[in-house]
Amino acid sequence: MPKIIGHRGAKGEYPENTLGGFKKAIEAGVGGIELDVHLTKDNELAVIHDEDVDRTTNGKGLVREMTLGQLKKFDAGNRERIPSLQGAISVIKHAGIFLAVEIKCRNAEQKVVEAIDSSGMTKDTIVKSFDHRIVRNLKKINPKIKTACLLVGLPVHAYKILGDANADAISINCDTVDKELIDECHKYGKEVFVWNIDDKKKLKKYSDMGADYIGTNFPSIVKL
């Protein structure tokens, strides 16, 4: 059975990338949480998807131009605050589930690896990015870190992409994945993370295909 991963916590049910959203997903019974990180002005890791705070908070401005303390003053919905990566890891580790971190900016690799290693979550984490240079760098920093290449479309040669980035998995949109791709990855000892599956029927479909991780915006489907 694949691990069901709450995408940005419980994005479809609660403010995304917040501690409350992570807790809601955990209560629903997910096997892991996926979150996004950006570097702040004071070189801290903030859990937020966009490069600015405009869409997800009552503030305005670029994440990289504000300190973590400044970011935490914004309301991220339901009086939630933008968490630090360390704060998010604490909640996820306490729940005993898997962590998936998507790096959304350059030069964050070292900080991300340090946060994961210092928390004792190295064996229970996968770090991914659309920028495959970041994926390569992660392995250079710590070869034990599990990594994934994010892809939007179906790759022609999945194994070549994974080999070039020295990655352990691909993370791909469900609309472009098929069993042939999953089987090819498994043949070479690689894993497949499929996103985003938001109903029970699709959940079963991709589970039957053999996906290793399935991301969802609606963790409550786990209980259906």
Mean pLDDT of 150-157: 78
pLDDT of residue 26: 98
Q: What are 39-68's pLDDT values in tens digits?
A: 999 999 999 999 999 999 999 999 999 999
In angstroms, rounded to a whole number, what is the distance separating the alpha carbons of residues 132 and 171? 12
In angstroms, rounded to a whole number, what is the distance separating the alpha carbons of residues 102 and 159? 21
Cβ neighbours of residue 180 under 8 Å, at least 6 residues apart? none
Q: What are 174-218's pLDDT values in tens digits?
A: 988 999 999 999 999 999 999 999 999 999 999 999 999 999 999
Phi, psi of 214 (to 5 degrees): -125, 115
Active site residue 49: yes
pLDDT of residue 224: 60
Q: What are 159-171's pLDDT values in tens digits?
A: 889 999 999 999 9
The chain-wide mean pLDDT, for the chain, equals 96
Task: Report residue 222's pLDDT band, with 50, 70 and 90 as the boundaries.
Answer: confident
Domain ranges of the chain: 3-217
In angstroms, rounded to a whole number, what is the distance separating the alpha carbons of residues 76 and 59? 9
Burial class (CB in 10 A: 0-12, 13-18, 19+), 122: middle
Task: Report residue 12's pLDDT band, with 50, 70 and 90 as the boundaries.
Answer: very high
Task: Report residue 158's pLDDT band, with 50, 70 and 90 as the boundaries.
Answer: confident
The CATH number of domain 3-217 is 3.90.180.10 = no
Its pTM stands at 0.96
Catalytic-labelled residue, pool 7, 38, 94, 157: 7
Q: What are 97-149's pLDDT values in tens digits?
A: 999 999 999 999 999 999 999 999 999 999 999 999 999 999 999 999 999 99
pLDDT of residue 155: 66
pLDDT of residue 157: 80
Catalytic-labelled residue, pool 49, 94, 132, 186: 49
pLDDT of residue 65: 99
In angstroms, rounded to a whole number, what is the distance separating the alpha carbons of residues 116 and 26? 19
